[in-house]
Structure 1
């Protein structure tokens, strides 16, 4: 488990055009709704270089827009070696992403890499890649990401909150 404060989060999927840009946008919206808009650096990246420079998939843009979130200006990028030092928390969208990230990461920072749904909600489940699916699959992915983002925001808020007694929260 991560003991230090989390000031930056990187979401990672295979191409950085479907799931990870959506997760970045949704968590940014959740933080904004809770009044924590600029407190934590958020970004997303890919384990592959196939889509570098591309906008998010139009279906991800559409489902985000339907919920009042604009991810259209994001651009896909491949994870870089410096990302492993720059980000306190690196969340892979599926087990394959996590395995790829751990293979790329220096040993000293592998504890920063987690499966998104497992870290956020304690559910060891993948966020399935909807790329070859229909719009309903993107809606399902949005719902999973939204639920996990709400849980993650709550979890992170609990880590930094301190009760009136001056003791730190037992949820850290």
Structure 2
């Protein structure tokens, strides 16, 4: 990746109306708070396209708004194999999403694919559960998990891409 190009992160769940837009909003908010908006870009998508063009679920928007995160500008879309060319990181919410993504992942791009909760292994949860059929408490729990894992993901990106205000010259990077 060219050091002057932003790091691009795509969050993926099944329908792109609950978990992945929440993850995009939370991560984008963290990026903005750290002053890294020019260095990191975000998007979200679903493994299925039935909610393409729709806003995130009202419950996800409500919980996010209560926590100071705005999801109102986000719209659902379906992931495509070309996303693996556009994005440096493709982050799945659960193992089913991950497996669905492997079926559209071009050979040689597998290293871009991750589970979000891998960035919060200390929590002891491997997947972000789908809150769609549950109540408000499920959306609160999902927000908490996403927030914790997003902090870990941002830390990893900052370290790997030297976005912490340290040397920006690629010649000074340790491999």
Same fold flag (TM > 0.5)? yes
Q: State the TM-score, normalizing by the size of structure 1.
A: 0.88
Aligned residues: 165
Q: In 2, distance between residues paired with 1:74 and 1:43?
A: 9
Q: In 2, distance between residues paired with 1:4 and 1:108?
A: 18
> What residue number does 1:109 align with?
109
Residue 145, structure 1, aligned to residue 146, structure 2: yes
For structure 1, the 5+ residue unaligned runs are none
Shift of 1:168: 4.2
Shift of 1:38: 2.8
For structure 2, the 5+ residue unaligned runs are none
Q: In 2, distance between residues paired with 1:38 and 1:124?
A: 31
User: Residues 113-172 of structure 1, C-alpha deviation per residue, up to 9 Å, x if partnerless?
Assistant: 111111x22466010000000001000000000111111112221221557xx9646xx7
**Structure 1 segments (4+ residues) deviating >2 Å:** 3-6, 121-124, 166-169
> What residue number does 2:120 align with?
121
Task: Provide the alpha-carbon RMSD of the alignment.
Answer: 2.1
Q: In 1, distance between residues paired with 2:172 and 2:8?
A: 25
User: Residues 91-126 of structure 1, C-alpha deviation per residue, up to 9 Å, x if partnerless?
Assistant: 0000000000011111111221111111x2246601
8 Å contact kept, 1:115–1:124: no
Distance 1:134 1:4, change over 3 A: farther
> What residue number does 1:14 align with?
14
> What residue number does 2:68 align with?
68
Q: State the TM-score, normalizing by the size of structure 2.
A: 0.87
Q: In 2, distance between residues paired with 1:124 and 1:67?
A: 22
